[in-house]
Structure 1
Amino acid sequence: MLTQVGGGYVARVGVGQPVKEYYLLADTGSQINWLQCLPCDGCSSVSRSVFDPSGSSSYSLLSCASQECASLGENRNCQADPCMFITSYGDRSTVEGEFATETVSFGSSGSVDKVAIGCGHTNQRGGASGILGLGGTPVSFPSQIQATSFSYCLVDRDSGKSSTLEFNTAPPGDSVLVPLIINRRIEVFYYVELTGITINGEQVPIPASAYQIGQDGSGGIIVDSGTTITELPAQVYNSVRDTFVKYAQALTRTSGYDDGLVNFDTCYDLSSNPTDGYPTMSLDFSGGKTLPLRPANYLSRVDTSGKHCLAFTVTTQPMSILGNIQQQGMRVTYDLANKMIGFSPNQC
């Protein structure tokens, strides 16, 4: 089950024997599965969200010589047994601790033994109890269970509803299927060739230099369930914003929004809940594939007064990100066997 919390989506995951449930952020941009563990420095103050490895009969530490430890790559932090991991995130938070195997389950769907999972004793990342790593490396959860595909449906923010995270299911028949591009230098991410964004029939092209992966592995555009706002190069963002403003004149413009984490420069007062005046918007992919978006996919509510802002921002990094706001309300399927990503609207 997936539930929207803050800017991300968490999966309810059973860990250990006897089983206890924890809420882990479902993140296609991460390879390591981890949860906060006792004893813990900087963990959530909610004691039930902290895993106690001493209370689980199936918890087993991994050695530095283990294949699982070697699979951590740059996240391996091994001086002597047991295997240790360390990882950091875009918000500059870090987590470190032991790497072990444990039994993992999803409700009545059964359990999987000996899943490699991090036990985070030093945690500088708030929010969820940990992360369910859905990325493309051998140590990620889909790889460990040898899944041929996985999919999720991200419910609309503030809907109060939940949806599902599924493994080994085919994309719905109405899916917009686009090639899943593999970056051999950075295998954790799932890349797509997003070639443009069309607003009211006018396309803002995205140059090949932005969506193609460089020989050194830099650049490209990834689909990321763990990032909220879509991040684009400045030139592309400015063109998207200006085109949107041109066609959104029926909406009431208001001041920008900056909470210290994200800075929006294009916002509207939608407190009157207007039913029309919204521009159409679609994402354009290579091969002529087009994914239509709803207003909820491009305007994000930022406060209780009805202020909504254009849910795109500028990245200063070579890589761009298709965030989870643009994925709301649709089932996104990662067909790993056929190297395709499917977007199926109205399937939550």
Structure 2
Amino acid sequence: MKPFYWLVLDSVSVGNKTFPLQRSSLEFYSYGNIIIDSGMTVTHLPSDVFDSMKSELMKQIQETPIDDPQGFFGLCFSSVKIKVPKIVAHFVGGDVELSPRRLFEQVEEGISCLTIVPSYMEGVSVFGIKSQVDYLVGLDLEMNAVAFKPADCSKF
């Protein structure tokens, strides 16, 4: 049995801009290129994909970016009311539109940071719990399948 549940992430889009994972990243693991993990808070993406997303988010978000006071997050703003553009994870087999409710988290008073960060381990990406907000996620280990069902988790 594999120690993690792997998916294949083809690309990520911000608004109308799509950022594909490099082909070598898709073939790195024969069983997937991103771990889905409800125990990991943030999502970790390859640095090139993260950097492209960051550039596009800085164009689309009408706030001035600031340095992360904690030195962990890759994109922060001095605002807690950030209008987030549509971000979609394009998996082989289906797309998941990320909920804007947890894409930015307040890390200090008046400072919010993106809950997607560049991966610190080459070839290992993680789809963390903040990117799974407002979805009921089902894992079928026998069929080797995952299902995302939209849900308003603020009501639970």
- TM-score, normalising length: structure 1: 0.40
- Name 2:92's counterpart in structure 1: 286
- 1:283 and 1:214, CA in 2 relative to 1: closer, same or farther beyond 3 A? closer
The answer to whether structure 1 residue 332 and structure 2 residue 137 are counterparts is: yes
SS at match of 2:44: strand
In 1, Cα distance between the equivalents of 2:110 and 2:25?
Answer: 34
- After superposition, residues 287-326 of structure 1 pair within 5 angstroms as 287=93, 289-303=94-108, 305-317=109-121, 318-326=123-131
SS at match of 1:263: coil
- 1:199 and 1:222, CA in 2 relative to 1: closer, same or farther beyond 3 A? same
CA shift, 1:258, in A, is: 4.4
Which residue of 20, 27, 41 corresponds with 1:228? 41
- Name 1:27's counterpart in structure 2: none
- After superposition, residues 1-348 of structure 1 pair within 5 angstroms as 137=1, 187-214=2-29, 220-248=33-61, 250=62, 252-259=63-70, 263-271=72-80, 273=81, 277-287=83-93, 289-303=94-108, 305-317=109-121, 318-346=123-151, 348=153
CA shift, 1:298, in A, is: 1.9
CA shift, 1:197, in A, is: 0.9
CA shift, 1:306, in A, is: 2.9
CA shift, 1:241, in A, is: 0.8
In 1, Cα distance between the equivalents of 2:28 and 2:104?
Answer: 29
- Does the aligned pair in 2 maintain the 1:194–1:286 contact within 8 Å? yes
SS at match of 1:239: helix
- Does the aligned pair in 1 maintain the 2:58–2:65 contact within 8 Å? no
- Does the aligned pair in 2 maintain the 1:255–1:265 contact within 8 Å? no
In 2, Cα distance between the equivalents of 1:223 and 1:211?
Answer: 15
SS at match of 2:38: coil
In 2, Cα distance between the equivalents of 1:339 and 1:214?
Answer: 15
CA shift, 1:283, in A, is: 0.9
In 2, Cα distance between the equivalents of 1:339 and 1:221?
Answer: 14
Q: What stretches of structure 1 of length at least 5 have no aligned partner?
A: 1-136, 138-186
Larger radius of gyration: 1
- Does the aligned pair in 1 maintain the 2:136–2:148 contact within 8 Å? yes
- 1:299 and 1:211, CA in 2 relative to 1: closer, same or farther beyond 3 A? farther
Q: Which residue identity is paired with 2:113?
A: C
CA shift, 1:347, in A, is: 5.0
In 2, Cα distance between the equivalents of 1:314 and 1:207?
Answer: 15
Alignment size in residue pairs? 152
